[in-house]
Amino acid sequence: MSFFASTPVDRMSGPYPRRWWALLVLCLSLLIVVMANTSLIVAAPDMTRDLGLDSSQLQWVIDGYTVPYAALMLLLGAVGDRYSRRGGLIAGLVVFAAGAVLGSTAHSANAVIAARAVMGVGAATIMPATLSLLVATFPRAERVRAITAWTATSGLAVAVGPLVAGWLLEHHAWGSTFLINIPIALVALVAALVLVPPSRAGRRGRLDLVGGLLSIVTVGSLVYAIIEGPHFGWGAGPVTGAVTAAIGLLLFVGWELRHPQPLVNVRMFRVRSFSGSMLAVLMFFLGTFGALYYATQHLQFVLGYGPLATGARLLPLAGAVFVGAALTGLATPRLGMKPMVVAGMAIGTAGVLLLTRIDAGSGYTDFLPSFLLLGFAIGLSVAPCTDTIMGLFPEDELGVGGGLNDTALELGGSLGIAVLGSILATTYRGNLTGAVGGHLPPEALHIAQDSVGGALAVAQRVAADPAGGPQRAGQLVAAAHRSFADAVAHTSLVGGTVMAVGAVLVLLILPGSGAGRRPVAGAEAHAGGADVAAPAGGEPAGQVPAGQGRAY
């Protein structure tokens, strides 16, 4: 056997012998993509102090990664299908590592935002490649376990990112949180050449560049509007973004319906198992990322935990993901995907609603049940959703399928952070103004209203005044803690209600588990609208029809 994996998947006479090692490489690649966002949660305070970031700049340090990541996944997934999925993975790792180098040496807000944008382009190439390579490499009988491991890696990264970043920040500057990605990316790159087999679509036509451009405009404008509107007001920029996204969506759907080889077969959204699974993925990450966004702030600014201690306290969430993933691997084949997904959404909703109990006297143990329930819900339900989505795509469109799945994930996370974060900020601002509005100078009040971290900074300055400063500072800190805790409870009620509505919609949309499903492609999709059920005794769920995929 050659040292490098050189035999394409579609030329193998049986399952790839080193497929489980290849899965390890794909999961490692996925790990750094997700960690790049979650590690920033604990690195943000140090970056804000060193670079003098205002709230708008800090938001764009986070979302400079998110916008290109979400906008480019569909097109880059299709490029991988046409030319080389492994090549896409390797190219993405190179770009991602280059962005990390730039970020570690940046000395201004704009330089950090630019570096994060480069990393976002790399992530948009890596993410769909990992999922399409997984599905192409594993036979159907093993694919559920492989996708479960892939999903569990996402949950692990949610907790490990803050932990690793916190450990680094104990001894090094914030630039080290960028540098940690570089050796991991290099190891994954070399291992991909050795362990991941080449793969691309067997049937390759011209790439739908117009559809790709319209998808970038639509998703990019939508994510921009989601980010800017709730945080900075619905002025000309966000409204223009929302209108552009709506027009782009209409043009995209119209173009794709008429194109002989569309980037995305939009008729897939008439398939209930597909649309229900996409909605479930979006809602899971809306609730989880939104809750983590404000829970970690509470742990740091209200309870006073450092970056490392905050990361360590998120580890139970990762453990719960693995427990849920182990259970879903056993239960889904017996019960079907719909009961698992709906049960997971109900559990995740309960996890968010438990945070409505948070008040100024709450400690870490009041957050722990929510972390456990959210992690368990992700492990239980996201893997069946992803397996359903990918199983409905033929071999030639696996990169697009991965891009759609990952776009739903990223849109959900963006919505959770932006919308729930906006509700949190608005509620906190109103509470704090009512508590201390008449006792602070306008400039100090404005800083304190911006964030709980800003309030603590103002309190430090107030404490330096020998004429009653310590007492007034203590009152401000107590008011800020109380205002933020009340904002967490209020925001959790809104987030839990949204997730509950999503759970009901998923329950109504997903079909019963009695019928098998097979890929929807070509004439079937053009003729259909409902789920396409396999005939009795036919292909099991997601099986690639003869002539479209592997020899096994």
Q: Are residues 50 and 134 in the same domain?
A: yes
pLDDT at 519: 57
- CATH of residue 151's domain is 1.20.1250.20
Same domain (yes/no): 469, 481? yes
Same structural domain, 494 and 375: yes
Q: How far is CA 473 from the centre of its chain?
A: 38
Q: What residues in the chain have per-residue pLDDT under 50?
A: 1, 515-516, 521-552
Range of the domain at 283: 272-521
Tell me what pLDDT residue 160 has.
83
Give the separation between CA 489 and CA 353, rounded to whole angstroms.
Answer: 8
Mark whether 100 and 236 lie in a shared domain: no
Structure tokens at 313: 């306290």
pLDDT at 533: 39
* Same-domain status, 125 and 234: no
Residue 191: partners with Cβ closer than 8 Å, 6 or more residues away: 24, 25, 28
What is the radius of gyration, based on Cα positions, of the chain?
A: 23
Q: Do 312 and 402 belong to one domain?
A: yes
Contact 288, 159 (CB under 8 A): no
Query: What single letter denotes the amino acid at residue 361?
Result: G
Residue 551 lies in a domain: no
Q: Are residues 399 and 305 in the same domain?
A: yes
| Axis crossing angle, helix 398-415 with helix 55-82, rounded to the nearest 10 | 170
Q: Are residues 281 and 406 in the same domain?
A: yes
* pTM, two decimal places: 0.84
Helix boundaries (H) for 356-420: 364-391, 398-415
Distance CA 68, CA 33 (A): 13
Structure confidence at residue 247 (pLDDT): 95
> Taking every pair of C-alpha atoms in the chain, what is the biggest distance, in angstroms?
84
- Do residue 173 and residue 81 come from a single domain? yes
Which strand (E) or helix (H) includes residue 246?
helix 236-258
Residue pair 279/285 in contact by the 8 Å Cβ criterion:
no
Angle at 400 between CA 394 and CA 404, to 5 degrees: 115
Q: What SS3 class is residue 489?
A: helix
**Which residues, 6 or more positions from 391, have their beta carbon under 8 angstroms from its beta carbon?**
143, 517, 518, 519, 541, 542, 543
Report residue 457 as tokens. Answer: 């900074």
Let me know if residue 72 belongs to a domain: yes
Residue 164: predicted pLDDT: 87
The helix (run of H) or strand (run of E) holding residue 263 is none
Considering the domain architecture, whether residues 397 and 511 belong to the same structural domain is answered as yes
**Residue 413 CB partners (closer than 8 Å, separation 6+):** 37, 66, 285, 286, 288, 289
Taking only the tens place, the pLDDT of each residue in 77-104 is 889 888 889 999 999 999 999 999 999 9
Contact status, residue 103 vs residue 115, Cβ threshold 8 Å:
yes
What letter would DSSP give residue 108? S
